[in-house]
């Protein structure tokens, strides 16, 4: 049996991960409209990963005989006055998600729910990587974003990103 409070937070996290996917799909649309198909590809793949995260939480809950409830997914909210706004909104969002994961971890720790702590270890590491990736994208845009030729090359680089399934299996 999972700790009741932990199970509730994990169920909320399912919704948060689906929201992340939704947000990144909206980012992808923004870049498609701007003609930056590499950036659009990068965020489309990011959205795929977020759906995977949601499903990992679902699977974990189901494996532990906990009820899964799908709530309404919020409309993506972000400011899009420039390309950089989107990238920064991405980093802010990942920091927010890191806080959510840490909060579940803390609650599992308090409840001596060692199984959930072990499950969440992968997400703690993953959030570190997500923040690094979001930061690197901002740095590249700062360096190269104002020069059209460099932006073209950066877009080409991001077009090469391919999807790979998460390394965590349950
Ligand atoms: Mg995620």
Tens digits of residue pLDDT in 99-147: 999 999 999 999 999 999 999 999 999 999 999 999 999 999 999 999 9
Cα(140) to ligand 1 centroid in Å equals 22
User: Contacts for 106-115 with beta carbons within 8 Å, 24 or more apart?
Assistant: 107/3, 107/5, 107/6, 107/9, 108/3, 108/6, 111/3, 111/5, 111/6, 113/2, 113/3, 113/6, 115/2, 115/64
Residue 144 CA to its chain's centroid (Å): 25
In the chain, how many H helices and how many E strands?
Answer: 5, 0
Cα-to-centroid distance, 54 and ligand 1 (Å): 7
pLDDT in tens, 23-47: 999 999 999 999 999 999 999 999 9
pLDDT score at 169: 87
pTM of the shown model: 0.96
Is residue 1's pLDDT more than 90? no
Residues 6+ positions from 25 with CB-CB distance below 8 Å: 43, 44, 47, 76
Q: Of 6, 20, 52, nearest to 170 (Cα)?
A: 52
Q: How far is the CA of 148 from the centre of ligand 1 (A)?
A: 31
CA-based angle 132:135:140, to the nearest 5? 125
């Amino acid at each position: 049996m999972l700790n009741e409070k932990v199970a509730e937070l994990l169920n909320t996290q399912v919704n948060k991960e689906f929201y992340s996917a939704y947000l990144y799909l909206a980012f992808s649309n923004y870049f498609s409209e701007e003609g930056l198909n590499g950036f659009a590809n990068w965020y489309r793949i990011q959205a795929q990963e977020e759906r995977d995260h949601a499903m990992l939480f679902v699977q974990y809950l189901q494996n532990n005989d906990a009820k899964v409830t799908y709530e309404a997914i919020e409309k993506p909210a972000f400011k899009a006055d420039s390309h950089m706004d989107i990238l920064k909104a991405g980093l802010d969002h990942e920091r927010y998600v890191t806080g959510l994961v840490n909060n579940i971890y803390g609650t599992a720790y308090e409840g001596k729910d060692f199984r959930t702590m072990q499950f969440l270890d992968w997400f703690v590491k993953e959030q570190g990587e997500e923040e690094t990736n979001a930061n690197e994208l901002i740095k590249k845009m700062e360096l190269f974003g104002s020069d059209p030729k460099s932006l073209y090359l950066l877009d080409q680089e991001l077009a090469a990103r391919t999807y790979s399934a998460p390394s965590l299996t349950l």
